């Protein structure tokens, strides 16, 4: 869907694990 990877999303959002909480706003850069 997005031309990016989970690792990059985690890096952008300073996520230390793969847990995404409902309602949590993520920073996603679309290339």
pLDDT digits (tens, 9 = 90+) for 1-31: 567 787 777 777 676 666 666 666 666 666 6
Q: Which residues contact 2 (CB under 8 A, 6 or more apart)?
A: 28, 30
The pLDDT value recorded for residue 1 is 58
Structural domain including 19 reads 1-31
The pLDDT value recorded for residue 21 is 63
Count of structural domains, the chain: 1
**8 Å CB contact between 26 and 6:** no
**Could you write out the DSSP letters of every residue in 1-31?**
--SS-HHHHHHHTT-SSS---TT--------
């Amino acid at each position: 869907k997005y031309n990016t990877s989970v690792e990059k999303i985690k890096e952008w959002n300073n996520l230390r694990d793969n847990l995404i909480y409902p309602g949590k706003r993520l920073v996603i850069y679309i290339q």
